[in-house]
């Protein structure tokens, strides 16, 4: 091994060998060779799913020792943007940072005055969800205006949007696609177009979901083509979630659809200038757009005169925004590039795991309400349950003509009123049996200590536009199980057995 290339190749060969021995439990569920012992082996609600490919990529990038965001990051950004069909994707260090950067970009003084979000402007969001969907609104001085959640989908009750709107004050809608279930994109987009509002899609839990709408409706909203890799059926336009609004976000934290450890992305859907503003906020607030380690890509580094600086001041040290440093590392991007290759298989596994849980718990509908994809009116059980692994069940749909195809982040179910147990008792029992479960993040965020205190300290810092009965019901009755690709058939069978025994025991008493 006389050359660095030969030595690196041997290190990477040994890395793959080591990983294949040490990380068997992290392989996709269908490949997981570790024996599952019911009651002893934990069934996580989510987790890292990877092979020796990701470990090799991380080690290889570390050996190159670029470290800061560089060639792997640049490649990942291009590959993610191409997959989704957006103008640009920018890597950041988390999904929460992605939300902060995306929202901050819409506060830039470089935007037209009527589009710029300034302190005191209002942004419509939904009450039950994850706090960092809402936090950037407050952190930038704007006012979140809360509407309620629909119980069946977990998403916003779109019929309440007009009640939340105030002409001249409302500037945007910012909300997440809950647990991999797209919100009603058609209704929200039409509302935003009518009132000239930004739409910020928090797509952190929904990478790979698609939303379809009839061609005439899509054309009226300005959409002419499908996303890359999604064939047209001649009647509908179908796009990935995160590509319908103006700007969107992703999270690559381990429970999500793909992982870089920590990490996230901001997607610039169709307005290229937003990339410059988002990049500035990500990169210290600087005006220069040169990538790390590169100089003078504008060929005018010493030719600018901005602010009250002297003419010719080094453009690499001119700041147009009060920004942050929210970049990830290049080895993380190397991991992400390998994960992207596995994303189609991950998505299919999530769909099938959701279906297995839905079919396996259908006989407990006396005690549980189950989620539905947006625009679905009912779940239709497969005629032959034995075919479930190869043929997904179907849904009945509403009259809008819109459809959703969910890349599920989790399987949410709600304990019905009158059941002989509460969702807390149910969750505690699952935990005792080593079955991972989570409530719907923060529940009704207005009930959280931070918002209770905020109401005391700054009562006008947020506004509640409608009653929040749905958000309260989700907080009091809902939890979700995992659908991630690391689940094996044995794990799902164990979950179903534990739940049935729990219900039977409670019913008997």
The domain limits of the chain are: 4-56, 71-286+323-330, 287-319, 342-508
What is the arithmetic mean of pLDDT over 398-421? 97
Q: Evaluate if residue 389 carries a pLDDT over 60.
A: no
- Rounded CA gap, 52 and 372, in Å? 36
Q: Which residues contact 406 (CB under 8 A, 6 or more apart)?
A: 180, 181, 182, 206, 209, 351, 354, 373
What is the arithmetic mean of pLDDT over 471-493? 96
Q: Evaluate if residue 319 carries a pLDDT over 70.
A: yes
Name the pLDDT band for 297 (thresholds 50, 70, 90). Answer: confident
- Rounded CA gap, 404 and 238, in Å? 9
What is the arithmetic mean of pLDDT over 151-176? 98
What is the DSSP track for 110-151? TS-TTT---TT-EEEEESBS-HHHHHHHHHTT-EEEEEPBPT
Which residue intervals of 65-94 are DSSP H helices?
71-84
Give per-residue burial for 211-245: e unless 16+ CB within 10 Å, then b. bbbbbebbeeeebeebbeebeeeeebbbbbbbbbb
Query: Average model confidence (pLDDT) for the chain?
Result: 94
Q: Which CATH number fits domain 71-286+323-330: 3.40.50.720, 3.50.50.60, 3.40.640.10, 3.10.20.740?
A: 3.40.640.10
The CB density around residue 248, as the number of other CB atoms within 10 Å, is 29
Name the pLDDT band for 53 (thresholds 50, 70, 90). Answer: very high
Q: Evaluate if residue 502 carries a pLDDT over 80.
A: yes
Q: Which residues are catalytic?
A: 256
What is the arithmetic mean of pLDDT over 136-151? 98
pLDDT, tens digit (0-9, with 9 covering 90-100), for 195-229: 999 999 999 999 999 999 999 999 999 998 777 87
**How many residues can be counted in the chain?**
509
pLDDT, tens digit (0-9, with 9 covering 90-100), for 425-450: 999 999 999 999 999 999 999 999 99
**Residue 130 exposure: Cα atoms within 13 Å on the Cβ side:** 18
* Torsion angle in degrees (nearest 10) through CA of 288, 291, 296, 298: -60
Query: Which structure tokens are listed for 483?
Result: 């659908």
Better-predicted residue by pLDDT, 148 or 25: 148
Our measurement of the distance from residue 218's CA atom to the centroid of its chain's CA atoms, rounded to an integer in Å, reads 23
Residue given tokens 């989570």 in the structure block? 438
Helix (H) or strand (E) run with residue 267 in it: strand 264-268
Q: Which of 20-34, 141-155, 254-268, 424-438 has the lowest mean pLDDT?
A: 20-34
DSSP letter at 36 equals P
Residue given tokens 């309400």 in the structure block? 369
Q: Evaluate if residue 22 carries a pLDDT over 80.
A: yes
Q: Evaluate if residue 32 carries a pLDDT over 80.
A: no
pTM more than 0.85: yes
User: Hey, what long-range contacts does 381-388 have (CB within 8 A, 24 or more apart)?
Assistant: 385/359, 388/352, 388/355, 388/356, 388/359
Q: Evaluate if residue 82 carries a pLDDT over 60.
A: yes
DSSP letter at 192 equals H
Q: Evaluate if residue 132 carries a pLDDT over 70.
A: yes
At 233 the pLDDT is 83
Name the pLDDT band for 390 (thresholds 50, 70, 90). Answer: very low
Query: Which structure tokens are listed for 377?
Result: 């009116």
What is the DSSP track for 402-451? -EEE---SEEEEEEPTT-SS-HHHHHHHHHHTTB-EE-STTSBGGGSHHH
- Rounded CA gap, 203 and 267, in Å? 10
Q: Which of 5-9, 226-230, 349-353, 387-391 has the lowest mean pLDDT?
A: 387-391
What is the arithmetic mean of pLDDT over 407-429? 97
Q: Evaluate if residue 391 carries a pLDDT over 60.
A: no
At 434 the pLDDT is 97
Q: How many helices (H) and strands (E) does the chain have?
A: 14, 17
What is the DSSP track for 143-188? EEEEEPBPTTTSSB-GGGHHHH--TTTEEEEEEE-GGG----HHHH
β-bridge mates for residue 236, sequence order? 214
Query: Which structure tokens are listed for 237?
Result: 């336009």
Query: Domain 342-508 adopts which CATH fold?
Result: 3.90.1150
Better-predicted residue by pLDDT, 78 or 31: 78
Q: pLDDT above 70 covers what percent of the chain?
A: 97
Name the pLDDT band for 385 (thresholds 50, 70, 90). Answer: low
Q: pLDDT above 90 covers what percent of the chain?
A: 88
Same CATH fold assignment for domains 71-286+323-330 and 342-508: no
At 229 the pLDDT is 77
Name the pLDDT band for 387 (thresholds 50, 70, 90). Answer: low
At 296 the pLDDT is 84
């Amino acid at each position: 091994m006389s050359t660095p290339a030969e030595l690196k190749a041997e290190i990477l060969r040994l890395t793959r060998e080591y990983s294949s021995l040490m990380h068997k439990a992290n392989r996709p569920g269908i490949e997981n060779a570790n024996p599952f012992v019911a009651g002893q082996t934990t069934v996580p609600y989510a987790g890292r799913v990877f092979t020796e490919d990701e470990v090799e990529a991380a080690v290889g990038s570390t050996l190159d020792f670029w470290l800061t965001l560089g060639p792997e990051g640049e490649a990942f950004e291009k590959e993610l943007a191409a997959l989704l069909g957006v103008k640009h994707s920018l890597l950041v260090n988390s999904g929460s940072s992605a939300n902060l950067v995306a929202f901050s970009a819409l506060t830039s003084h470089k935007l037209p005055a009527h589009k710029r979000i300034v302190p005191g402007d209002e942004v419509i969001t939904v009450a039950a969800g994850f706090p960092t969907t809402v936090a950037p609104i407050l952190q930038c001085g704007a006012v979140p205006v809360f509407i309620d959640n629909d119980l069946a989908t977990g998403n916003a009750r779109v019929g309440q949007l007009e009640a939340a709107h105030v002409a001249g004050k409302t500037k945007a809608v910012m909300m997440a696609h809950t647990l991999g279930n797209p919100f009603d994109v058609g209704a929200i987009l039409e509302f935003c177009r009518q009132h000239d509002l930004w739409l910020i899609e928090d797509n952190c839990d929904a990478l790979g979901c698609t939303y379809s709408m009839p061609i005439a409706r899509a054309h009226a909203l300005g959409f002419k083509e499908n996303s890359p890799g999604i064939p047209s059926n001649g009647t509908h336009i179908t796009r990935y979630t995160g590509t319908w609004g103006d700007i969107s976000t992703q999270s690559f934290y381990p429970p999500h659809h793909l992982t870089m450890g920590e990490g996230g992305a901001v997607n610039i859907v169709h307005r290229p200038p937003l990339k410059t503003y988002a990049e500035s906020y990500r990169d210290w607030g600087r005006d220069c757009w040169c990538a790390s380690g590169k100089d003078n890509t504008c060929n005018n580094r010493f030719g600018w005169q901005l602010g009250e600086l002297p003419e010719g001041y080094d453009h690499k040290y001119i700041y147009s925004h009060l920004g942050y440093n929210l970049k990830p590392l290049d080895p993380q991007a190397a991991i992400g590039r390998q994960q992207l290759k596995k994303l189609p298989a991950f998505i299919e596994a999530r769909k099938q795991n959701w279906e297995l849980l839905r079919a396996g718990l259908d006989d407990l509908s006396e005690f549980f309400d189950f989620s539905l994809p947006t625009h679905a009116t009912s779940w239709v059980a497969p005629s032959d349950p034995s075919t479930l692994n190869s043929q997904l069940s179907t849904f009945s749909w509403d009259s809008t003509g819109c459809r959703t195809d969910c890349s599920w982040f989790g399987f949410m179910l709600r304990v019905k009123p009158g059941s002989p147990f509460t969702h807390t008792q149910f969750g505690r029992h699952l935990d005792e049996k080593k079955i991972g479960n989570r409530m719907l993040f923060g529940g009704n965020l207005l009930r959280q200590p931070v918002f209770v205190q905020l109401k005391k300290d700054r009562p006008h810092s947020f506004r509640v536009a409608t009653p929040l009965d749905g958000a309260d019901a989700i907080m009091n009755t809902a939890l979700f199980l995992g659908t991630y690709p690391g689940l094996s058939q044995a794990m799902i069978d164990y979950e179903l057995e534990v739940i049935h025994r729990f219900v039977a025991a409670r019913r008997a008493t």
